[in-house]
Amino acid sequence: MLVATDCLSEGVNLQDHFSAVIHYDLPWNPTRLEQREGRVDRYGQPRPEVRVVTYWGADNRIDETVLEVLLRKHRKIRGALGVSIPVPGSTSDIIEALAEQVLTSSGRAIDVPLQGIIEQLRPKTDALDAEWERARDNEISRRRSLFAQRRIDPSEVADELAAMREAIGSGTDVEQFMTAALRSYGAAIADDAAASDRTYEVDLAEVPDAVKDSLALRDTNDSNMVLGFGQTAPKGGLVLSRTHPAVGGLAGHVLDQALDSSGATEGGRQFVAARCGVMRTGGVSIITTLLLCRVRMSIAASARGGEHHMLAEEAMLLAFAGAPHRPDWLTPEQVRPLLDAEPAGNVMPEVAAERIKAIIDAEPRWRPTVAAEAEARAEALAEAHARVRDADRRQGAVVRGPGPGRVAVEAQTPTDVLAVYHFLPKEAS
């Protein structure tokens, strides 16, 4: 049990340890109650139901009045609209309305002077109720106009949305990465896991400590855990999304190892990722080379307040067939299947080293295509900015320089080549 003031009503995540909220006091502003509830009833809450108890004294007329006049009215409107509407009127109007309600609902005989006070207060109560109804109607009209807007045609920004989803990855990508990486580091993941709800039982007993540290999950002595990749948290487990610290931590750990040139091992295991690799596979019919590149682009967007500078990064996959000094570049549709290629034979280390050296020595032949593709990505990003601005009826242009209402995107060269993977056709049996 955690007892706290409203200091915990904003910006604190309590869903991992709590599943109920008890409101001991009843503030006249209902939003404060929702803020408290939102600390527990939020994304990642493992319990299917969060209980909320509103606690007040049966002999306390003030509490009962606040509940009747404000909280129930507020929740009724929220239930109908799905959003909260602030209590209308000033603080003095609300206090006077509450006072009128307390006096008229006391059940006692009211003398003449007190009756006069009530008559003076009643217009405040009626006005508050009318103002709240007006606020509800305004919200309905505003939402209709908001969601029925005509400024942006969804089809005009559909391509940008699809490109964004492709760039940041999906929940399936996160699931594939986490399960593959953890297995490579020695984690035991049951093959008969409940794939239908994308939930896995994972045993980290054999996983190196450094990997556990990267997951930031070492606050428990139990090496067994349940990981979920769906929309709801698994019972007694964690739901992992692309932005979860465990996903970012493990990805950073894998990348750091791949960039480590010391050649060391971890926990007696070879590193699970490498910047260079050669393998035989049935996924290609001719010799093919895959390049993993990182494109960095500077964005200069001019606005009324001056020029705003940003930096964008994008991973880029390029591949060519044939000898590296005479590359035959593949289309994006041909490149994607290479990521799913499976090894189908051994390659001697001396042969692998010789082939990687030949690719690196031929860099002057394939580097211009990498630079040209980076420039094309910068042009595409500038055009995407212009299309979105035009869809919003703003002024935008694809240019190479500053100016009012313009967006300039420039690729930073040379483009980083993070990895080189070489695929040899499967040997005939």
Instruction: Write out pLDDT tens, residues 49-93.
Output: 999 988 777 776 566 666 565 656 666 656 655 555 555 555 565
* Separation of alpha carbons 385 and 300, rounded Å: 11
Domain count, the chain: 3
Residues 91 and 16 placed together within one structural domain of the fold: yes
Residues 18 and 127 placed together within one structural domain of the fold: yes
pLDDT confidence bin for 363, thresholds 50/70/90: very high
Q: For residue 7, what pLDDT is reported?
A: 82
Give the domain range for residue 215.
163-259
Residues 36 and 121 placed together within one structural domain of the fold: yes
Residue 362 counted as domain residue: yes
Helix (H) or strand (E) holding 423: strand 407-425
Q: For residue 121, what pLDDT is reported?
A: 44
Residues 54 and 171 placed together within one structural domain of the fold: no
Residues 287 and 335 placed together within one structural domain of the fold: yes
Residues 249 and 307 placed together within one structural domain of the fold: no
Residue 343 counted as domain residue: yes
* Separation of alpha carbons 317 and 321, rounded Å: 14
Single residue among 199, 230, 259 that ends a domain in this structure: 259
Single residue among 259, 286, 311 that ends a domain in this structure: 259
Q: What is the mean pLDDT of residues 367-385?
A: 90
Query: Is 90 exceeded by the pLDDT of residue 100?
Result: no
Q: For residue 364, what pLDDT is reported?
A: 95
- Provide the residue type at 236 as one letter: G
Backbone angles phi, psi at 300, to 5 degrees: -120, 110
Residues 97 and 181 placed together within one structural domain of the fold: no
CB 242 within 8 A of CB 174: yes
Residue 153 counted as domain residue: no
Residues 132 and 173 placed together within one structural domain of the fold: no
Residues 180 and 139 placed together within one structural domain of the fold: no
* Separation of alpha carbons 79 and 228, rounded Å: 30
- Provide the residue type at 191 as one letter: D
CB 321 within 8 A of CB 288: yes
- The residues near 402 (Cβ < 8 Å, ≥ 6 apart) are 300, 302, 307, 408
Residues 401 and 289 placed together within one structural domain of the fold: yes
Single residue among 230, 259, 288 that ends a domain in this structure: 259
Residue 266 counted as domain residue: no
pLDDT confidence bin for 386, thresholds 50/70/90: confident
Residues 96 and 236 placed together within one structural domain of the fold: no
- Provide the residue type at 320 as one letter: F
Residue 152 counted as domain residue: no
pTM: 0.60
Residues 280 and 417 placed together within one structural domain of the fold: yes
